[in-house]
Every structure is written in C-alpha cells, then in structure tokens.
Amino acid sequence: MDKNSYWLFASLLASICIYGFIRLMFNLRYKNEELQAYIQQVTAAQEELRYQYYQNLESEKKLSISEEKFRIMYEQAPLGIALSDTLTGKLYDVNPKFAEIVGRKVEEIIGIDWMSLTHPDDIKENIHKSILMNDKTLENFNIIKRYIKPDGSSVWAKITVATLNFEDKDKPSEICMVEDITEQKINEDVIKSSEYTFRKLFEGSSDAIILLKDYRIIDCNLAAIELLGYDSKAKIICKTSWDISPEKQPDGVSSMEKAWDISMLVLKQGKYRFEWWHKKENGTVFPVEIMLTSILLRGKQVLHAVWRDVSERKLLEQKLEYLSYKDVLTGLYNRRFFEEELMRLNVPRNLPLTIVMADVNGLKLINDSFGHAMGDELLKKVGEVIVRGCRADDIIARLGGDEFVILLPRTASVEIEQIVKRIKNQALSEKVGSIEISISFGWETKLDKDEDIQEVFKKAEDFMYKKKLFESPSMRGKTIKAIINTLHEKNKREEQHSHRVSALCESMGIALGLPEGEVEELKTVGLLHDIGKIAIEETTLNKPGALAEEEWQEIKRHPEIGYRILSTVNEMSEIADYVLCHHEKWNGTGYPKGLKGEEIPFQSRIIAIIDAYDAMTSERSYRNALSEEVAIKEIQTNSGTQFDPEVVNVFLEKVLRFKAS
C-alpha cells in the first residue's frame, strides 16, 4: 500500500470515526434529553405523590377535626338528637340533650324502642314512619308528640324525623331532631283558654265592646249592636269609628281627625280613656265613655274599645252645672255666677259698668202670712218682671232671699233710669194672688278704671236700702190689708167674728174712758187679733168635729204668726204685742208665753174676754151658738183664773149691761 493510499485510507477511516463519534454524540445527547425528560417526569411524579401524600394527610387531619367538631356539636346541641334503626325502632345513639328531655340517662336509652318513651295517649297515633330508599336520599317529616318521664310527667316535643339511606341496605336509619316545646304548649293552652274566656266575656258583657283594626270595626258584641240601635252585627262590621259618630265632636274637631289622633296615641302608650259622642242608626247622638286598649288577638294588634253610655251622667252633670250657676227657684243666675261675671266684666272696655240692686218689699210678711210657697211665687214673678224690663244681654242674678242684681256693661245712668222705670211699670200690672208686687231699686256706675268694683257694689246696695225705707212701709200696709181680705174671703165666719170683736172693743174702750186714740187702737186690735189664722189650713179652721192634737197645736200658732205679720210694720209694733198675748190667762196657764196677771198687756186682757164671749155666742163649725146667759155664766166662772176680774166686771156691767142678781 502506497503512502497515498495509506493516507487516504487513514483519512477515510478517520472520517468514518469522526462521523460515528459525531452521530454517537448526537444519539447520546438525544438519549440524555430523553433521560432528562424522564427524570423530570419521575421528579414531577414524585412531587405529585409527595403532594398527594401531604394532601391526604391534611384531609385526614381535617376529617378528624370535622368529626371531632361534629361530635362536640352533637354532644352539646341545644336540641335532642337520636339515631334509631328504622326496622327495629331501637335507639342506637342519642345525645345528652335528648336524654335530658326524656328524663333518663344516655345508657338507659340505648337499645330501647323509642316508641316505649311515648305517652300512652299518643300510642294510638303511631308516628313511627320508616322510609327505605335505594339511593342516598333524605326525606323529612315533622310531628308533635309527648314523651313520658319516669316520674310520670310528660314532655311535649316537636320532632323532625329524617330517614337516612346508607350503602348498607341492611341497616336503614332514622335521625330525630327533638325540641322541648312543653312551655310553648302550656302557653298555647293558656292562650286558647284566654281566648275562650275573652270570647265569653266579650259576648256576655253588659258594656258595649268593639274591636278595631286599621280604624275599621272587625267585631262587636250584642250590647254594642243594641246601643247603636242596629238589628245585626253585619250592619256594623267594616264601618269606621267615624261612620257611627256625628261629623264633629262637641269641641268642634271632626270625628275622623280626632279618631286618628286617639288611635295613634293608644298605639303609642297602650291605652287611653276618653269621652266620645256616637250616633245611632236612627241618627240620635249620645255620649259614651270609652276605654281604648291596644291588644294582641290571634297574633294581630287590634284596638279593644269598651263603651259605657253616660247619657244619664251627662244629664246629671248638666244639672249640677246648672245648679252651680243658676238659681233653682227663678232660673236666673246665682250669686256664684254673679261674682265670677263681675270680675270678668270689670275691665276698661266695659266702662261705664253699672250695678243695679233690687229688693222685694214685704217678702217676709208674705212668707209668714201666706206661707213660703206664696213667697216663692212672688220671687219667681219678680224675676220674670225684671227680665222683661231688661235688655237681652243684661246679666240678671238672684243673690239670695229677696235680693236681685243686674249687671249692665257699657251702660250710663240715663239708660239705667229708663230700665228701672220699665221694670216698675211691668210690676204694676202683676199680682201674686191678692198681693201687689213692690220692688225697691238702687244703682251705682263705675266710670273710672281705678275705682274699686266692690265699693261700687256697696254704694248701689246702700242706695237701694234708702229707697226701701220709704217704699217698704207703704207696701206692708197694703199687704196687711190684703192679708185681712184674704183671710175673710177664705172664711166668712172669721170676718164676721173680727168685726164683732172690733165693735165690742170700741165699746169697751169707751166704757173704760180711754182717750180716742187708744179706743181706735183697741178697735184695730180687735179687727186684727186673729190675722195669724191666715197661715192655718182652711180645713183645720172649718173642721166640724173635735180637733186632733196636731191640729190644735197648729191653731195655737196663730198669735205668734199674727205677731210676726204685724211687727213688720213700724207703726203696728205695739198692736203686734197685744195680738201675741191675747190667749194668755190670768193664772199663767195660757199661751204662747205663759204670762200671768198684770204681766199680760191690758189690751190683750180685754181682747181675751171679748174674743171668748163672741166665740161662745156665735155659731161654730163644730157646735151651735150658745145663749148670752150661758156665755156670761162661763165668763163669771173663769173670772180670776182665765180672765182679769176687774176687766170682766166692766165688760159685763157697762158693755153687756148685765146686772148680777
């Protein structure tokens, strides 16, 4: 082999080696990359396995924690929990709360049929429900039942039963969630009992009761139907409270507006008592007192209204208000109203403010003579006369007794004189029986705002009393004449008796040689000695038989009545004393004072003899007249006991011309 062939062969061999090396290197690189990729896959797989391992560890840990939490929750649950075999009904696990509810220990419960815990009264209603399912599902149902405790007491429980379907088809299970609702059941029973009681009270109440919701009536009892004058409940239900009320209440506020305000107040504070005016079906308006209360009825808030008809009470209040400001006898205002009104009117804008005082003349005389009924009639008539003489806005009041007052704001003296004149003219045309009406007036006007109104009142009163001094005596004289005329009209026998006694008194005065003035006085005494009989019942005066004791006592009052009548007239004060004593006796056994001998006024001793003589010799309702001889003998017999002996002698010898044998 030559040198060139050698170098060529060597070059070829070297090229082949280099190519093979290069290819080997490429193959090695490729294989290395595959190995690296595999290593990475293994590493990743290792990491994944390591991750899964730790994840499983974490899951197992979490599962363990969850199971622990579940067990804690199970043990400490506020509800009772029990697990039972659906097929056998036996309990295989319960929590402490369930054991507490049924009143037993946990170990006493495991393995027993939970139906054995059921109250005997609930056995008939078998609430044991088992639902077997092929797949994992859960079906619930709720029941309420009673458990019975070892001590015999029972517990009401609300039970939620769930049927559990496990892969183990041979052991289907039920889980029971048990809530003790004994207190709730007791409360429900109480509520039912309360509602029953409420309904009984509601329907049977004598007070009207309505229930309202959203201002509308949702129920009412029979008393409310009757009070409102309807014939059925259906006509009232759904009406608003203002539908059965007048448009406005007495204070002028609309019933609707006021009802809203009151309802809101009751909802806020719970209850409210007030007065209200309702309207019957026929339109009659009447007052009620309402106690409105917010209550819960079947879980809903309603308003419970109790009505009481206060019509009678309102009438009484009106009467009391009337009495507090009105004079019952005359219907005019009374002193209380006058005093309040005087203060109200005592302001500058009412000046000149005039006070007129009025006093009825002879009232006491009329009361004593004719009785208080006649006096009351006189006062009523005076009130009417004053009202007719005054203006419509003038304030007239009776202060009491015989005194009246008139308040005249913005009225001057000139107008007052015209008003008083009108009243007096009205009085002239009026009489009470046979009695004329006489009124004395006095007045005073406040012109300056600084004047004391009480001083103005006193000046008006003083002025009135001055007028009365002049006007009253004349009235009394007229009244006494009216009394005598009335007595004589009532009893003609008394009239004849009085005139005969008066004539004999005149003869006796002449026989005694008395001055002419004293004879006239004695004659007047004879005429008036029985004036007190005006107050005695006519049936008693004219009774045909013997008088009863009380009638006799009434008759014996006539000297005192006569005295009161006559003593009201100043110039008759002495005559009044003589009349008072004309039934006194010489020996002190007479009446009314039991005077004796010369304690008895001389004129009274004369009247006593003449009165007795004429009574015996004239016809009476209870007997015929006695003869003069019998009467004289009776007087002689009673001389020195009933009669003054000296006066008897003068009467018999000088007046009757009787000569003793």
pLDDT in tens, 462-476: 999 888 877 776 666
Q: pTM of this prediction?
A: 0.50
The pLDDT value given to residue 603? 94
| CB contact at 8 A, 147 and 117 | yes
- Cβ-based neighbour number of residue 345 at 10 Å: 18
Mean pLDDT of 182-194: 69
Mean pLDDT of 145-158: 80
* 245-255 pLDDT, tens digit each: 999 998 889 99
- Rounded Cα distance between 337 and 211, Å, is 44
Mean pLDDT of 578-605: 94
pLDDT classification of 613: cutoffs 50, 70, 90: very high
Distance (Å) of CA 339 to CA 84, 205, 507, 565: 94, 47, 59, 34
Highest mean pLDDT among 414-418, 484-488, 545-549: 414-418
Higher-pLDDT residue of 8 and 234 is: 234
* 619-656 pLDDT, tens digit each: 876 678 889 999 999 999 999 999 999 999 999 999 98
Right CATH for 491-655 from 1.10.3210.10, 2.60.120.10, 1.10.3720.10, 3.40.50.2300: 1.10.3210.10
List the domain boundaries for the chain.
79-186, 205-314, 327-481, 491-655
Q: Is the pLDDT of residue 136 over 60?
A: no
Mean pLDDT of 500-506: 92
pLDDT classification of 87: cutoffs 50, 70, 90: confident
Q: Is the pLDDT of residue 138 over 50?
A: no
Weakest-pLDDT range from 188-197, 224-233, 256-265, 545-554: 188-197
| CB contact at 8 A, 137 and 165 | yes
CATH numeric code, 205-314:
3.30.450.20
Weakest-pLDDT range from 347-351, 485-489, 502-506: 485-489
Q: State the amino acid at position 95 in one-letter form.
A: N
Q: Is the pLDDT of residue 583 over 80?
A: yes
Give domain 79-186's CATH architecture: 2-Layer Sandwich (3.30)
Look at residue 116 and give its three-state secondary structure.
Answer: helix
Residues sharing a CB contact under 8 Å with residue 584, sequence separation 6 or more, in sequence order: 590, 591, 593, 594, 595, 596, 599, 600, 604, 608
Q: Is the pLDDT of residue 132 over 50?
A: no
pLDDT classification of 125: cutoffs 50, 70, 90: low
The pLDDT value given to residue 559? 93
- Rounded Cα distance between 285 and 621, Å, is 62
Weakest-pLDDT range from 231-240, 256-265, 315-324, 394-403: 315-324
Q: Is the pLDDT of residue 398 over 90?
A: yes
User: Is-same-fold flag (79-186; 491-655)?
Assistant: no
Highest mean pLDDT among 68-77, 209-218, 592-601: 592-601
Strand order in the sheet with 173-180: 91-94, 80-85, 173-180, 154-164, 138-148
Right CATH for 327-481 from 3.30.70.270, 3.40.640.10, 3.40.50.2300, 3.40.50.300: 3.30.70.270
The pLDDT value given to residue 27? 60
* 268-278 pLDDT, tens digit each: 898 999 999 99
The pLDDT value given to residue 293? 92
Q: Is the pLDDT of residue 298 over 90?
A: no
The pLDDT value given to residue 127? 47
pLDDT classification of 288: cutoffs 50, 70, 90: very high
Look at residue 90 and give its three-state secondary structure.
Answer: strand
Look at residue 346 and give its three-state secondary structure.
Answer: coil
Mean pLDDT of 202-220: 86
Q: Is the pLDDT of residue 113 over 60?
A: yes
Closest Cα to residue 354, out of 325, 395, 383, 322? 395
The pLDDT value given to residue 511? 93
The pLDDT value given to residue 586? 96
**Backbone φ and ψ of 190, nearest 5°:** -65, -40
- Cβ-based neighbour number of residue 285 at 10 Å: 11
pLDDT classification of 77: cutoffs 50, 70, 90: confident
The pLDDT value given to residue 139? 57
- Mean of all residue pLDDT scores within the chain: 82
The pLDDT value given to residue 129? 42
Q: Is the pLDDT of residue 137 over 50?
A: no
| CB contact at 8 A, 437 and 429 | no
